[in-house]
Amino acid sequence: MDLFAEALDGALVVRVGEQRIDAAIAIQFKDRMREIAAQPAPRVVLDLSAVQFVDSSGLGAIVSVMKFLAPARKLELSGLTPNVQKVFHLTRMDTVFTIHAAFPEQKLQDAV
Q: Which of 7, 70, 101, 102 binds other proteins (CB under 8 A)?
A: 70
- Using rule CB under 8 A, residue 1 touches other proteins: no
User: CA nearest 59: which of 14, 29, 18?
Assistant: 29
Residue of 10, 38, 40, 92 that binds other proteins (CB under 8 A): 92
3-state secondary structure of 109: coil
Q: In what order do the strands lie in the sheet with 43-47?
A: 3-8, 11-16, 43-47, 74-78, 98-100
Do β-strands 11-16 and 43-47 pair in parallel, antiparallel, or remain unpaired? parallel
Q: Give the binding range for other proteins (CB under 8 A) out of 7-15, 32-40, 89-97, 99-107.
A: 89-97
Q: How many residues does the chain have?
A: 112
State which of positions 6-65 bind other proteins (CB under 8 A).
20, 22-24, 53, 55-57, 59-61, 63-64
Residue 38 CB: number of other CB atoms within 10 A?
6
Shortest distance, position 95 Cβ to other proteins, whole Å: 7
The smaller minimum CB distance to other proteins, of residues 6 and 98, is found at: 98
Q: What's the min distance (Å) between Cβ of 38 and other proteins?
A: 19
